[in-house]
Structure 1
Amino acid sequence: MTASQPSSASSLLSNRFVQVILMSTLFLQSGIWVRNIAILFYVKKMTNDDAFAVSLISVAEFAPIFVFSFIGGTFADRWRPKRTMVWCDLLSAVSIIAVLFAMVNGSWKAVFFATLVSAILSQFSQPSGMKLFKQHVPEHLVQKGMSVYQTLFAVFMIFGPIVGTFVYQTYGIETAIGIMGISFLLSAASLALLPRDRQDDRDKQKSQVLEDIKAGFRYVLSSIILRKLGGGFIAAGLGLGLIQPMGIFLITERLGKPEDYLQWFLLVNGIAMIIGGVVAMSFSSKISPQKLLAFGMAVDSLAMIAMGLSTDYWLTLGLQFISGLILPCIQIGINTMILQNTEEAFIGRVNGILNPLFMGSMVVTMMLSGVIKNAISLVPLYVLAGVFFLVGVAVLLPLFKLKGGIQPEPNKAVGNS
């Protein structure tokens, strides 16, 4: 990095795009957390704590990632990114009006529709946001920008449930859903402040959607960096899926504490993520994203194994803090590697291919985690999760040989987008 490339926080935050995208994220996360908590409490109330009905909330939130992620990424590469994001927010707000109308007429199950629609539209909006990040943020500020972005998400992991609970318990489900709609409108208004989409985004060569999809897969397969990153995604998803539903059993069975102690683990994790994001922002320009990612996965793997072995509450809580502290390194490393090693024309499709690899592998082991726990017990389960993360580190190790930062590879056998 040269002296002409300042990487200070003030330089980053003075970037107009960063200011607008953070403002949009602030509004969106406020609405999403109010929605998540309010709908959770509402569905539990309306179904008398039916676990199946509650699980459908997660289905409505995560299923679109499998069905629409690559489709959304493909069209994000074809459409103007700013316009796509604005329209996604506006359509989400319109869907909220339909949900409120249905609820007024007695159909409480319409709350699932609110989650489903916004989750689908996010599969078009999110890759467009990454594309704008590629356009408007200088490369030497990308990793620091991702640090700020992830820190904002960590803040909402702490305060989002508090705000959502307050809104629902004080004002009810209709107000909570209404706040979600207003949040989408405010996000759209914020995004309108972005510079106009580039001319070349409008005048792209028109190709068949199927050809764009094939070109996206060829692009990923032709890049050793993206292939290795995909392998790391799968390993991390398999490991995380194993322990994601098991936290409550770690507390009750391994540590012998009541169920409500889970809230302290979540609180500690959120606080650690905020601290980790700030720390990562301070040194992110001094370490390559592939090393940042591998370091985060290696430390997280050891923390998982130690948490499974520990029988001391305070030690386990400390390990939870370490895990949260390191998580931003993983998230920042992943997003930075994608942005730095993907041509702008392919960012949507690369996201659409890699994200389902992580989510798909995580869901597979989430579904099997209960069966595996019963078969081998809780401790080996956490050890196995840690081993999966170590496998992910091993997959990424060859990228350490790349000197001077990773650059996009030649676009061989890709074809036009």
Structure 2
Amino acid sequence: MKQLYKNKELRSFLILWCSQAVSSFGTAMTNFALIIWAYKQQGTVSSITLLSVCSYLPSILFCFLAGTLADRWNKKKIMLICDFIAALGTFTVFILYITGSLRICHLYVINFSLSFMNAFQNPATYVAVSLITPKEYFIRVSGLQAFSNSLVTIITPAVATAVLAFGGIRMILMIDLFTFAIAFTALLFFIKIPVMTEDSNNKKESFLKNCCAGLSFLRKHTPIWKMILFFSFINLLASMAGNSIMPAMVLARTGDNQIALGMVSSSIGIGALVGSILVTAVKPFKSKTKVIFISCAVSFLLCDILWGIGQNVAIWMFAAFAGNLPLPFLSANLTTIMRMKVPIEMQGRVFSTRDTFQYITIPVGLFLGGYLADNIFEPFMLNISPIQQMLSKLVGTGRGSGMAVIYLITGTIGFLVSLWSAKDPTYKSLD
């Protein structure tokens, strides 16, 4: 890793990476605090998952169109504008909170608006990183991004809990705005992103045809298209359970213990942190696709299934650590395949098309997870029946046991589907 820092070719990426990591930390603290605030206001799983739905849905629906604009427009300007609007969203929450006017419906609207801007920012960032990073560093750069994301996940619960105790949500929002200022200044003054010359063929084509170019590319490359559809299904399972209902389950099964939630959340980050260090340090594997599918299977087995059958903080912490350790290997190899196989002048459109199809199932899964938890599985596990008694031997009883059943179901299906896909010969050409 020291060699990466000494490499002048990576200077722009490293500045971008560090500054964005600082900003992500501020945003993560705000999200952590607002999830607890929302759960206390409503006391339902749906109140939390709906926040996530609003954070995902617009970026998924509009990124198909935004990717074309990201290929045409200046990447740096897009990122700066989107960052600025994100800061306005945080500032709005701050004003509403200090005036005593904040309501959960306001968070839905703000999350929806910020998600719309992410539709433009995500493809622009994808391409920007490709432009400022030499190809031989793609996997290691992905590992560094996973490293910072993991570190943020680790320290956010502890720091946010401490700040909440001494300064409240007001202080957390102020920290978020300060970290934004750091990232915005770094991007504006210290990062140079090469300006791409647009393909003359793209200029002649209509906007709609340009938007469809990403889909046409993917349909012609069957292995990539098939993997995108695979992860569309995996994301449905993961969003039904995963980290979306975990806060509600932990709070429900520990008597609203915020410290327990922080410990489990930090364990997620520690596992991903260790995995990101390993993926950055070790020699790249020959078969990237095998790594992707096996990592996915192991994650479902050790995280979701253990979260389902575990009934105490110690088991949840181990499951969070062990289940998230393989994920940096999955994301680094998947991102590298996409960057190597897709021409850079098409990456905005192709990545956006990928995101549309790969992530469209996430808001569906989030909605289903919240609905099934509140209206079906939680009530079912609170009423004695033969099936309930059988399931209670695995997941226990009381509040949160219905959510544990959801983890058990999604974990088992995800594990089996991932192992089956690892044997599919279609993906060999991607290696």
Which category describes the TM-score, using the shorter chain as reference length?
Answer: 0.7 to 0.9
Aligned twin of 2:192: 195
What secondary structure sits across from 2:282 in the alignment? helix
1:355 & 1:391 partners in 2: Cα distance? 21
Give the partner amino acid of 1:357. Answer: F
What is the deviation of 1:393? 4.7
CA-CA distance at 1:350 after TM superposition:
2.4
Pairwise CA RMSD of aligned residues? 3.6
Q: Shift in Å at residue 238 of structure 1?
A: 3.0
Pairing of 1:97-176 with structure 2 (within 5 A): 97-98=91-92, 100=94, 107-109=101-103, 110-176=106-172
Shift in Å at residue 53 of structure 1?
4.8
Offset at residue 156 of structure 1 (A): 0.7
Aligned residue in 2 for 1:398: 425
Deviation at 1:104, TM superposition (A): 6.2
Report matched runs for 1:321-400 at 5 Å. 321-366=321-366, 367=368, 369-370=372-373, 371=376, 374=380, 377=391, 382=408, 384-395=410-421, 397-398=424-425
More moved, 374-383 vs 62-71 = 374-383
d(CA) in 1 for partners of 2:318, 2:97 = 44
Q: Report the Cα offset of residue 140 of structure 1.
A: 1.6
1:31 maps to a residue whose letter is G
Residue 206 to residue 101, structure 1, CA distance change in 2 (3 Å) = farther
Q: How big is each residue's C-alpha offset from its partner over 1:173-211, in whole Å with a ceiling of 9 and x where there is no partner? A: 444334333333322221122224325159862643211
Show the counterpart of 1:215: 213
The superposition leaves residues 342-401 of structure 1 with CA deviations (integer Å, 9 ceiling, x where unpaired) of 121222222222234343334434405534785895569625533334424544532553
Q: Give ranges in structure 1 of 5+ residues lacking alignment.
A: 1-5, 407-417
Which has the higher mean CA deviation after the structures are superposed, 317-326 or 217-226? Answer: 317-326
In structure 1, distance between residues paired with 2:427 and 2:146: 24
Q: Decide whether the 8 Å contact of 1:95 with 1:114 is kept in 2.
A: yes
Write the distance in 2 (CA, Å) between the matches of 1:342 and 1:24: 27
- State the SS of the aligned residue for 1:197: coil
Runs of at least 4 residues off by over 6 Å? 248-253, 256-259
1:240, distance to aligned residue in structure 2 (A): 1.4
Match of 1:28 among 15, 23, 29: 23
Deviation at 1:154, TM superposition (A): 0.5
* Residue number among 10, 20, 24 corresponding to 1:15 in the alignment: 10
Contact 2:56 2:362 in 1 (8 A): no
Opposite residue 271 of structure 2, the aligned amino acid is A
Separation of aligned partners in 2, 1:246 and 1:119: 20
Q: 2:64 aligns with which of 66, 70, 81?
A: 70
SS, match of residue 15 in structure 1? helix
Q: Is the 8 A contact 2:33 2:169 kept in 1?
A: yes
Q: Is the 8 A contact 2:30 2:176 kept in 1?
A: yes
Instruction: Write the mapping of 1:174-253 to structure 2, written as runs, cut at 5 A.
Output: 174-192=170-188, 193-201=190-198, 205=203, 207-244=205-242, 247=246
State the alpha-carbon separation in 2 of the partners of residues 38 and 262 from structure 1.
12
Q: Is the 8 A contact 1:243 1:382 kept in 2?
A: no
C-alpha distance in structure 2 between counterparts of 1:384 and 1:198, whole Å: 44
Paired residue for 2:400? none
Q: Within 1, Cα distance between the matches of 2:91 and 2:303?
A: 43
Q: How far off is 1:26 after superposition?
A: 1.9
Most deviating of 179-188 and 213-222: 179-188
TM-score normalised over the length of structure 1: 0.80
Q: Using the TM superposition, give the Cα deviation of residue 94 of structure 1 relative to its aligned residue in structure 2, in angstroms.
A: 3.9
> Which range moves more in the overlay, 355-364 or 199-208?
199-208
Offset, 1:125:
1.2
Shift of 1:148: 0.7
My pick for the range that moved more, 358-367 or 17-26, is 358-367
